[in-house]
Structures are given as C-alpha cells and as structure tokens.
Amino acid sequence: MEAIHYVVHPADLHGHYFSVLLTITDPVPGQTVSLPVWIPGSYLVREFSRHLCSLEASQNGQVVSVQALSKNTWQIACQSPDAGALQLSYRVYAFDNSVRAAWLDSARGFFNPTSLCLRVHGQEERPHGLTLREPVARSHWQVATALQSVDVDAQGFGSYVAVDYDELVDSPVEMGSFWRGRFDVLGIPHEFVVAGALPSFDSERLLADTQAICETAMRFWHPEIKDDARGVVPHDRYVFMLNAVGNGYGGLEHRHSTALICKRSDLPSYAGVKTEESKLKEGYRTLLGLISHEYFHTWNVKRLRPSELARYDYEQENYTYMLWFFEGFTSYYDDLLLRRAERIDDGAYLHLLGKTLFQVIQTPGRTVQSVAEASFDAWVKYYRQDENTANATVSYYTKGALVALCLDLCLRQEGAATLDAVMRQLWNNSRGGPISEADVLAVLKQLSGRSWQREIDDWVHGRDELPVVELLKRAGIAVEFQAATWEQRLGILVEEGAGRIMVRRIQRLSPAERAGMAVGDEWLGVRLRRHADEITSDASITEETGAWRLHKLSELDDLLPSPQDEHVLEVLVARDARLLWCALDAPSAQSCLGEPRLRIADSEAAYDWLLSRS
C-alpha cells in the first residue's frame, strides 16, 4: 500500500456524507495536515473545510489528539513512524451539485479530492493511493475516473494510485448508475459518462461530435500527427464526466479529464422525439462549445499555465494577471475549433462571435478595469458576482477572446504568422510548461518580426475599445448593429413573469441609473411626462392620470405614440413597500447599439481565417 492512502466510502447517501480513512505510513512527530481552500481552475476561496467534521486520529491502536491550527489545518500529536502508521478518520458533507466540490445522494456520488483528501504536509511528492468503496445496497453503481487503476472490480470500485498529491486532487471521481461510452482519438482512449440523461438521449451523436472536437484540438496543437497521437499529446487517456440536470451549466478542466454540467434538454435526442428543436440545437451547440473549451484546456492551462501557478498553493489565493490568455484565448478557440471540426457552419460561428462582442459592449466595466486587472481580481470580483459586477469589471473570458481575435486577425493581415502558430510555438518553447506575458511577447516577435508591446499595453493593460469591427471588416466580415431593444436603450436588465417586471441590473451611466431606478425595483407603470420641470406626485395608475400598467417591457411599443423616437417618461416603481415616480429620458432605438450581426462580405478573405488549419 502507498505511504499515503485514502479509503473513501459513500457511507450515508440520505445524509450526504462521505466517510474517509487516511493512512499515513511514515508520519513525522506532530504531523500536519490540511484541506485545500480552493480548487485549481476555479479562482475563488471556497473553504472546503467547512464541510469536514468528526476528525479523529489514532496510532498503533491508540487515540492521539488533534489540534486545529487554522480554519483548514490540523496538527496530530503522533510519534515517530516507529510507533506505527497514523490513521485519520473523518466525514465530509457533500451536497454541492456543481463541478467544483462534492455531491452524494441515493442516485449519484461525485467528488473532487480537493474536497475530501487532506494534504499530508511534507509528503506531497510521494505516491498517493485511493480506495473507493461501494455504497451499501447500490450494486448497480459504477465508477469513472482518470486515475490509474491498481485493483478494481468490473464496476470500477477498488484501488487507484496517483503519482503525487497534485495528480490526486486533479482527478475527480464519478459514482452512480450512469451511461458510459468509449471512443479512440488517434490512438488515445477516451471515455464519456453521462449521469441523469433521459431515455431519448442520442449517445451516438454526442460521441461522434466529441470525437471530432478532440481530434481537431489534437491536430491544432500537434500538426505533425499522422494517424497515432500516442507519445505526442500530453495525455494517454481522457474521461469526460457530464452531469445532466434540470437547470445548470459549467465545466472544470483537469489533466486527464473534465467535469461538466448541462441541462438535460441540452443533450441531443433521437429523431422523432417531440422537443423544441430550435432550443435543443442552441443548447446542444452551447454544450459542444463547453466540451471544446475544457478539452483545449488540456494544453492551455493544465500544462501551459501562468508562471505564478507553476506550483499550486492550496492554502490561499494564487494571483496572476494572465487569465486573459489562459481563459480568454481558450474561449476564442473553443467555438473556432467547432467550426474547423465542421460541427457548426459559418453562420452559427459568426453568431457566437457576435454574442461575445455584444457581451463586452454591454459591460461598462470594460472602461473601468483592464482585462489584466480583471484576471488578478478574479478571486474577489468575477467569482463573487452581484448586480454591479458588469459595471465594475470585465470578463477575462469574453474580452480575452476578443484580444485573441484581434491578435489573430492582425497577424494574418500582416502575413507573417497566425495565432495558431503562436500557441504552438509557446508550447514547444516551454515544453508544455509555465509561461509569462514576456514569453508571449517574445514568440509574437519571433514569428512576426516586430514588437507587439503596444498592442498588449493597449488591449490587455488598457481600457480603450478594441479594434474588433475594423479588423473583422478587413477579414471580409461585415458587422451590422441591429435596432436596440428597450432593455438596451435604457441600460437595464429585467426579469418578466406572472405579470411583473423586476429590475435585476442597471448599467452605469445609463438612462435608468440617471432616472434613479435601482436593482430590486418592480416596474409597475409608465406615462408620458406631463411637465418639463417636475414629475407629478400622483402615484395611481388610472386612465385619468394617463398612466398605463406594464406587464412586459415590450408593451412600451404599443403604448407610446412613436416608440422609435426619444421620449421623456414617468416610471412608477415599487421599492421597499413604497411607490416612487422616476423621470426617465428614453433615447431612440437608432441612437443606441443593438446586438451585432456578423456576415461574410468577402468569402476569400473570410475563409483564410475561418477555415485556416495552418
């Protein structure tokens, strides 16, 4: 048995508790252990130790004391290894149905070892063993994990091994009665498991599409591959773990696997099943983009990674200014590789790119914070979103993707290189290891023959607008902005339902903000402003007061005499059990940017970019 060995048992399905027995063969006197406070790939301190309880220790059959040193660290009053192996037993509450933590109920078990496996200080580099026990009366359960098996039964329960603690905690485990499929990609075995799928789930389509995505990614990074990728790509096996739920979306990358979550309705269905086909296509396309994104991370973030994260510190935040590259560039390529894999067509890809562009345009925080600063502040801003997030920061996913687009188009239009070549050269130069911004700049100069410092300063560290539209135009892509909706005109996001309009977000410096509207207001009614100097105090909604009750924001088109023109409105809102009138200057639809529509205007120039495999 390995010197560090965990036995994990889904002991209490209804109470949602895993039991863990940790054996340390060679403990040091006063051995220290701790549980990570975060999981790599998700940049937020999540305090996993809050779910750990009943920690007890024994050595050679004798109980030894456990002393808490901090919120997630304990010291064990054990003797030298001569006194025998140290055993720690504890329980972990598991009821987080995301990709980041642990879950256990009567139908399914899942955990990231960062949530369950204590780190044995000073022994992280040693091999770590993991034994998975089958839950009582669940003989139909199976196991899926990318860990190397040692002695397992037909269902996967038994012993596994990791080369060190880093590999252990980077290997999630799925348990339950799930669908399982397998395929090879250029000689590399891949496995796909899906929990919670409906009987109408089209597994063959999912496997075929995923296989095409994986092969496209492999050939992107390693164009020298002929028919066999073994020994070339950085993984010798891969496992997709997808949890299909009523409502959810997300993914988290790992070295040899990924954990995914999506709506059941997003999964492809067999022909003939009665579904809303248009929504199914949109949802499934989104799922394929997620699969592409997480698989691309096998290279870009799991191997290539910020130099500051060369070794993970599991005890605190790990800061980097480089998430615009590792997440943003991955976001650029996830949809582009779908196009190159022929899973989507030109129109679908340009639609997705237009959505990314519009998301950035609709984020006032882009003028407040640079995308590099947003990367650094991910720990307190991006992963702690509230109603003001879009006003205070910008997404390093979306703006980072547009930075990648600008670099790619500039490189192609100057004729010296492509971003594809830059990514591969970074991989080769670093041997698939940590890199810095200086490394990116060095490769850009190496391949293009000129410095890109000004562009990186402006686009990554600056807050000015990116030259996306002009660069797309040169690439043969026309960008046309549609007429703005009422939400876009007013700088507001509302939630409509049951005849109510609730304000959920207000953009900084927008007409809604200037009017004094606030998040949480219920928009009750509206009328044309009667006087230029003040609004009336009558808070009733009657025909005599000239006010209309609103049930949907789109009703403004029917109520206003010329809905496309500018108007000065009086808006009645309910806030904190009070009724308030707000004076709202509503701009015309033509004076505001609506959602962009991208189309191919010059096919020869466009296809040089869209279909390039160089």
Assign 461 to helix, strand or coil: coil
pLDDT at 542 over 60: no
The residue among 129, 156, 176 that closes a domain is 176
Do 324 and 450 share a structural domain? yes
pLDDT in tens, 70-120: 999 999 999 877 889 999 999 999 999 999 999 999 999 999 999 999 999
Residue 244 lies in a domain: no
From the list 173, 49, 39, 44, the residue with the least C-alpha distance to 100 is: 39
CATH number at residue 167: 2.60.40.3650
- In contact, 169 and 36? CB cutoff 8 Å: yes
pLDDT at 231 over 50: yes
Residue 268 lies in a domain: no
The rounded mean pLDDT for the chain is 93
From the list 241, 254, 285, the residue with the least C-alpha distance to 113 is: 254
From the list 304, 374, 363, the residue with the least C-alpha distance to 43 is: 374
> What's the confidence (pLDDT) of residue 271?
56
From the list 183, 196, 434, 447, the residue with the least C-alpha distance to 302 is: 434
Element (H, E) at 68: strand 66-68
From the list 293, 326, 329, the residue with the least C-alpha distance to 217 is: 293
The residue among 159, 176, 193 that closes a domain is 176
> What's the confidence (pLDDT) of residue 80?
79
Do 66 and 41 share a structural domain? yes
Do 372 and 342 share a structural domain? yes
Residue 103 lies in a domain: yes
The token pair that represents 252 in the structure block: 């988290």
Do 151 and 16 share a structural domain? yes
Do 149 and 12 share a structural domain? yes
From the list 235, 286, 301, the residue with the least C-alpha distance to 42 is: 301
pLDDT in tens, 289-306: 999 999 999 999 999 999
Do 558 and 582 share a structural domain? yes
pLDDT at 181 over 70: yes
Do 493 and 407 share a structural domain? no
Residue 207 lies in a domain: no
Confidence band of 530 (pLDDT split at 50, 70, 90): low
Structure letter (DSSP) for residue 484: P
Cβ atoms within 10 Å of 278's Cβ, excluding its own? 8
The token pair that represents 62 in the structure block: 């004798």
Do 419 and 333 share a structural domain? yes
In whole angstroms, give the CA distance from residue 207 to residue 584: 52
DSSP, residue by residue, 142-210: EEEESSEEEEE-TTS-EEEEESSHHHHHT--EEEES-EEEEEEETTEEEEEEEES--TTB-HHHHHHHH
Could you list the residue range(s) of the whole structural domain that residue 391 is in?
Answer: 299-483+601-611
Confidence band of 545 (pLDDT split at 50, 70, 90): low
Element (H, E) at 370: none
Residue-wise over 564-587: b if at least 16 C-beta within 10 A, else e?
A: eeebebbbbbbeeeeebbbebebb
One-letter amino acid of 197: A
In whole angstroms, give the CA distance from residue 373 to residue 243: 33
pLDDT at 531 over 80: no
Going from the C-alpha of 4 to that of each of 52, 113, 555, the distances in angstroms are: 19, 14, 65
Do 126 and 2 share a structural domain? yes
User: How much of the chain, in percent, has pLDDT values that exceed 70?
Assistant: 95
Mean pLDDT for 476-495 is 94
> What's the confidence (pLDDT) of residue 215?
98
In whole angstroms, give the CA distance from residue 159 to residue 134: 12
Assign 590 to helix, strand or coil: helix
Sign of CA dihedral 225, 229, 235, 237: positive
Residue 155 lies in a domain: yes
Q: Worst-scoring range by mean pLDDT, 43-57, 453-467, 551-565?
A: 551-565
> What's the confidence (pLDDT) of residue 541?
55
The residue among 110, 143, 176 that closes a domain is 176
CATH number at residue 514: 2.30.42.10
Domain count, the chain: 3
Do 606 and 555 share a structural domain? no
From the list 321, 404, 405, 399, the residue with the least C-alpha distance to 363 is: 399
Residue 197 lies in a domain: no
In whole angstroms, give the CA distance from residue 66 to residue 77: 6
Do 129 and 56 share a structural domain? yes
The token pair that represents 596 in the structure block: 């962009």
pLDDT in tens, 426-474: 999 999 999 999 999 999 999 999 999 999 999 999 999 999 999 999 9
Confidence band of 613 (pLDDT split at 50, 70, 90): very low
pLDDT at 279 over 60: no
Element (H, E) at 244: strand 238-245
From the list 233, 348, 330, 346, the residue with the least C-alpha distance to 291 is: 330
Whole-model pTM?
0.94
Do 507 and 436 share a structural domain? no
Residue 344 lies in a domain: yes
In whole angstroms, give the CA distance from residue 449 to residue 445: 5
Residue 277 lies in a domain: no
> What's the confidence (pLDDT) of residue 416?
84
Assign 7 to helix, strand or coil: strand
> What's the confidence (pLDDT) of residue 612?
63
H helices of 464-594, in order, are: 468-474, 486-490, 511-514, 556-559
pLDDT at 491 over 70: yes
CATH number at residue 413: 1.10.390.10
